[in-house]
Amino acid sequence: MRTGIPARVGQYAALLAYLAFLAFPFLWLISTAFKPPRELGSLHPTWIPENPTLDNFRQAFDEQPLLDAASNSLIAALSAALIAVLIATPMAYVMARRRTRLARAATGWVVVSQAFPLVLVIIPLFLVLKNLRLIDSLFGLILVYVVWALPFALWMLVGYVRAVPSELEEAAAVDGAGRLRTLVSVTAPLLAPGIVATGLFAFVTAWNEFFFALVLLKTPEKQTLPVILTHFIGAEGVADLGPLAAAAFLATLPSLVVFAIVQRRITGGMLAGAVKN
Amino acid sequence: MTLVTATWRSARKVPLDRGAWFLVLPALIPILLLSVGPLLYGILLAFTDSQSGRTEPTQWIGGLNFRDLLQDTLFWESFRIGLVWAVGVTVPQFLLALGLALLLNQDLKLRWLARALAIIPWAMPEVVVGVMWRLVYNPDAGILNETLRDLGLGDGRDWLSGLATALPAVIVVGVWAGMPTTTVALLAGLQNTPRELHEAAAMDGAGAWRRFWTVTWPALRPVALAITALNLIWNFNSFALVYVLTSGGPGGRTRLPMLFAYEEAFRYGQFGYAAAMGCVMVALISVLLALFLVGRLRGGDES
């Protein structure tokens, strides 16, 4: 199909407008992170810092326990992603291969859990975790993150399992492989890329999460990065812009890197789970 | 719910044996204990006077919380703001994402760049999105006011603390943050539309507009409906963005229901009352969503 030249020009103009809209806030964040205080106070801010500096980064580390926060975030996100994938994969396998009432209920739960406002979940969770003395503890937060990551993990993994033809497993069974053997040496290797993608996605979601961390963690040394970031904004909403931008920029990097790696697979997985009929 | 039925067609009907239970339980137990259980517990809490840090035992008070809630004009104002926000974000989000998805479906040179950039809002922590836009909206050092000054459009203003501008300003951020997910979903839908049909329609002399409505849109509709419904729910329940941007201010103009309930529960310790708010939110949103979906689906049958 041919597209006329005026239409093409219009398309490129529209695409450029989209690119500008998507990119400019992030470019501005980077620009602010490298500006010295004098330029930040200037009434005519520029896109490119005139005297770029790393002072904001140093100051950000001085003002808030960023290293602690980063390690808390890392521990929480890594453990949550690992555990979630570990327990979701077998369940997703059963949901994809068997037509049972349980699997149907689980699919229902995946859908319904998207609709409930978090406040209805967090109040009882807060009370339960308080009884278990798991408030203000990273372990308590990890438990919550695991369960919170499960709906999406199950959704993705069910799609990936269905993409593995069950004839392969049947062939292995005919050849005399036991059930566990079939799972481990036939199904698992084929699923591996999907499992990794799901785990990485769960990592990013947990790394970015704010609401549960805000409610469940009280001591600054135990808080995760997103919560610590809000401490840069004072009670009156006045913020020290430079360090705030620097810290926000650093907190984003891991998510961007991981996401860039898995994005393609995730979109593929969402398709497998959602559109295929 | 075509997604759900799709699962069932491809699966065999066999009751779970011991081996299967062994595979299911590691995930099922946490789901029951930390998701299903708390949800039911949360609904029960709505009928009690549960408060934080109180020594007396919690009492059943029946529908009292809900009766109070009916009188609570602040809550209904917050609910109204939540609806304005959810619709105000979801509709432009859908239109912009549709435009972008249609562009990305063409053979354009900068496609890879657009795909890479679309990752940014998607991967970013919501808190960082909020922080970033605070920098953009900053009255003095922000790029928005500076651009307006350069273009000679006045001195700009304090967008996030102006009574009239705060809600529109946070809505723009909401649109920006949610565009990638919607674009990806729509792009997936577009790539499922049959190319031959498109070409046949072009041969018959149908213009681009005509082709969109007769070929593309019918194929895209299920995906469009699903993602719009999800976006409405997600946006209505959103919290972190607005918490960081305005914390509900100025004067409650951006206080979404989630922020309201959060304050009620964790600032004032009114657990029972906040749980009742959560119940009302989920009930009303389900009703509105059901109406929306029924309306849309019926509209489709006629055409």
Which chain B residues in 10-69 lie under 8 Å from chain A, judged by CB atoms?
10-16, 19-20, 22-24, 26-28, 30-31, 34-39, 41-43, 45, 50
For B137, the closest chain A residue by CA position comes to: A25
pLDDT of residue A74: 96
**Distance in Å, alpha carbon of B34 to nearest chain A alpha carbon:** 7
Q: Is the ipTM of this complex over 0.95?
A: no
Question: A253 and A226: one domain?
Answer: yes
Question: What is the residue-averaged pLDDT of chain A?
Answer: 86
Q: Which residues of B touch A204 (CB under 8 A)?
A: 123
- A44 CB neighbours in chain B (<8 A) are 146, 149
> So where are chain B's domains?
71-302
| The pair of three-digit structure tokens given for residue B68, joined into one six-digit string | 């109070």
Per-residue pLDDT tens over the stretch B211-255: 888 888 888 888 898 899 889 988 998 999 999 999 887 888 999
Average pLDDT rounded to a whole number, residues B91-107: 91
| pLDDT given at position A277 | 33
User: Are A150 and A165 members of one domain?
Assistant: yes
Q: What is the pLDDT of residues B42-53, one digit of tens each?
A: 999 999 988 887
**Same-domain status, A80 and A124:** yes
- Out of A26, A109, A225, whose CB is closest to B132? A26
pLDDT of residue A270: 55
Judge: A125–B34 Cβ closer than 8 Å, yes or no: yes
Smallest Cβ–Cβ distance between B266 and the set A47, A215, A227 belongs to A215
Say yes or no: A43 and A179 in one domain: no
Residue A227 to chain B, least CA–CA distance (Å): 8
Q: Using pLDDT thresholds of 50, 70 and 90, give the confidence band for residue B16.
A: low
Nearest to A117 among B11, B114, B281 (CB): B281
- Out of B20, B121, B141, whose CB is closest to A40? B141
Q: How confident is the model at residue B302 (pLDDT cuts 50, 70, 90)?
A: very low
Mean pLDDT of A161-170: 84
Distance from the A149 Cα atom to the nearest Cα atom in chain B, whole angstroms: 11
Do A120 and A178 sit in the same domain of this protein? Answer: yes
Confidence category of residue B1, pLDDT binned at 50, 70, 90: very low
Across the range B26-47, mean pLDDT stands at: 91
* Residues B99-118, mean pLDDT to the nearest whole number: 84
Q: Which has the higher per-residue pLDDT, B49 or A75?
A: A75
Among A27-36, A153-162, B158-167, B199-208, where is mean pLDDT lowest? B199-208
pLDDT band at A63 (very low <50, low <70, confident <90, very high): confident
| pTM attached to this predicted model | 0.87
Q: Would you state the pLDDT for residue A106?
A: 85
> Which residues, numbered 93 to 122 in chain B, qualify as contacts with chain A under a Cβ-Cβ cut-off of 8 Å?
96, 99-100, 103, 106, 108-110, 113-114, 116-122
Is a pLDDT exceeding 60 seen at residue B300? no
| Claim to verify: residue A159 and residue A177 sit in the same structural domain | yes
B138 contacts A19? CB cut-off 8 A: no
Helix extents (H) in A98-165:
101-115, 118-131, 138-163
- Token pair in block for residue A59: 């100051």
Distance from CA of A111 to the nearest CA of B (A): 9
- In a shared domain, residues A124 and A146: yes
Structural domain containing residue A31 = 5-53
Residues of B in contact with A208 (CB under 8 A): 123-127
**DSSP-assigned letters across all residues of B158-183:** -GGG-TTTHHHHHHHHHHHHHHHHHH
Could you read off the pLDDT of A95-120 as tens digits, one per residue? 888 877 887 888 888 878 877 888 88
* Pair A126, A223 in one domain: yes
User: In the prediction, which pLDDT does B198 show?
Assistant: 76
Is residue A165 located within the same domain as residue A203?
yes
**Stretch A181-193: mean pLDDT:** 84
Tokens of A125: 């969770």
What are the pLDDT digits (tens) for A231-249?
Answer: 888 766 667 888 899 999 9
Asked if A147 and A104 sit in the same domain, the reply is: yes
**CA–CA min distance A185, chain B (Å):** 16
CATH (domain of A104): 1.10.3720.10
Is A271's pLDDT higher than 60?
Answer: no
Residues of chain A in contact with residue B192, where contact means CB-CB under 8 angstroms, are: 275
Say if the Cβ atoms of A248 and B16 lie within 8 Å: no
Q: Mention the CATH class of domain B71-302.
A: mainly alpha
Mean pLDDT of A164-185: 81
Instruction: Report the residue of chain B nearest A47, measured CA to CA.
Output: B143
- CB spacing of B42 vs A120 below 8 angstroms: yes
pLDDT at position A216 is 94
pLDDT over 70 (residue B77): yes
pLDDT of residue B147: 86
Task: Name which of A25, A93, A225 is nearest B132 (Cβ-Cβ).
Answer: A25
B 182-221 near A (Cβ less than 8 A): 184-185, 188-189, 192, 198-199, 202, 208
Residues A178 and A142 in one domain: yes
> pLDDT confidence of A266, banded at 50, 70, 90?
low
Judge if A31 and A129 occupy the same domain: no
**Residue B81: band (very low, low, confident or very high) from pLDDT cuts 50, 70, 90:** very high
Q: Note the pLDDT of residue B4.
A: 43
Q: What is the mean pLDDT of residues A125-147?
A: 93
Structural domains in chain A (count): 2
Of residues B14 and B115, the one with the higher pLDDT is B115
